[in-house]
Amino acid sequence: MPYEIVLVLHSWLRWAVVLLAFVALARSLRGWLGRHDFTGTDHRTVRLFVAACDMQLLLGLVLYFWLSPITPKSIAALKAGMKVASLRFFAVEHLAMMLAVIVLGHLAAISARKAGTPTARHKRLTIYFGVIVALIAVGVPWPWTTNVRPLFRMMAGG
CA distance 124 to 127: 5
Residue 59 · residue 6 · CB < 8 Å: yes
Q: Which residue ranges make up each domain of the chain?
A: 2-146
Outline where 63-149 has alpha helix (H): 70-76, 78-81, 85-88, 94-114, 118-139, 143-146
130-154 pLDDT, tens per residue?
A: 999 999 999 988 776 666 666 666 6
The model's confidence at residue 65, banded by pLDDT at 50, 70 and 90, is confident
| pTM recorded for the entire structure | 0.86
Residue 68 confidence (pLDDT): 81
70-129 pLDDT, tens per residue?
A: 777 666 777 777 787 777 887 788 889 999 999 999 999 999 999 999 999 999 999 999
Greater confidence, 158 or 64?
A: 64
Residue 15 confidence (pLDDT): 93
